[in-house]
Amino acid sequence: MNTTHVPATTASSNLRSLAQSWAEWKRDVVTILRRDFREALDQISLDDVDWAAWLRFYLEGRTASAAVDRALERDL
């Protein structure tokens, strides 16, 4: 039986990298929303967004820009 063992330190650093990427991606989404909807959303913050609804776009591998386009149906 061939099993692959990932050292805990590697798994931990991979989770940290994923979390950091998620944090960066969320900041990018907020920046795009502020830029594209300056008149309505210039004061939006990370706490104002329902990230559970956006998570699927992140997991699909969409860029922050592509996620905003999809969420707002600008890519149709």
Q: Please tell me the total count of domains within the chain.
A: 1
Any domain includes 58: yes
pTM for the model: 0.71
Query: What's the domain range around 52?
Result: 8-71
Q: Is residue 12 part of a domain?
A: yes
HSE (side-chain half, CA atoms, 13 Å) at 24 = 7
H/E element, 67: helix 64-71
Show pLDDT as tens, one digit a residue, over the chain (76 residues). 544 444 455 565 666 676 679 999 999 999 999 999 888 887 888 999 999 999 999 999 999 999 999 998 887 6
Q: Is residue 1 part of a domain?
A: no
Q: Is residue 2 a part of any domain in this protein?
A: no
